[in-house]
Amino acid sequence: MAQRPVFYVKEGFVRRSDLEFEWFPGFAVSQKQKCIRSLHAAIRRRFAQAQEGAGILEISTKSEVPLGASLSAFRLRLGGSMLESVYHSAKVFAHGGPFPDLLGAAPRDAKRDPRLQASGPLTAFRFRGEDWPLLPRSAFYDYLYCLAAAETLSLDGLEALGGYAFFTDIEFNPNRGVSTQARSAALVRALLERESRGEAGITQVQEMGMEGFLALHRAIVRG
């Protein structure tokens, strides 16, 4: 058995629930997809909304749904670079960073760059001349994700998220990380809902600036 989170939007807030499900070991895509199906079955057992047909979307390159794969941080682009690479290039450590050369690296190479482990504790993120704080946790990653989703996908593509209520990321282990594209995708969906009500939403994220986005994140992300 394993435990992983599912993220969803309820009453305008991004929420999280941790579920146990059967884990299928192995690195093959087929094994990962068995794990995804098992986790999604656990979601349907837990949530009446899912039992009634509300969509569940895996957000990763292992997703069996094209939309979920296209929303992976390994597929989204921001300013000509892959989102995953942008994220790691912005990290500032006590003894090094940021590392702008990672903008041109493949996502997996950027994620595994040895400097990320050899430069001491993480202290901030530097992006477009601003230093972002580490708190709220995941806020900087979520900001980049929102920008990249709006840049990479058409509005129709983004609005397709409206057909899904629950978001997972089988590659995310909460014991080893903080940020996950499943939470970020749920946030995009919440921002789409806000925009449909005439409030500041996904297409206004860049205009919000750092302080505006951090305030929004504190207000609506609850998990």
For residue 155, what pLDDT band results from cuts at 50, 70 and 90?
Answer: confident
Q: Quick one: pLDDT at residue 64?
A: 96
pTM above 0.75, yes or no: yes
**Mean model confidence pLDDT for the chain:** 95
For residue 61, what pLDDT band results from cuts at 50, 70 and 90?
Answer: very high
Share of residues in the chain with pLDDT > 90 (%) = 88
For residue 22, what pLDDT band results from cuts at 50, 70 and 90?
Answer: very high
Alpha-carbon distance of 165 to 146, in angstroms, equals 18
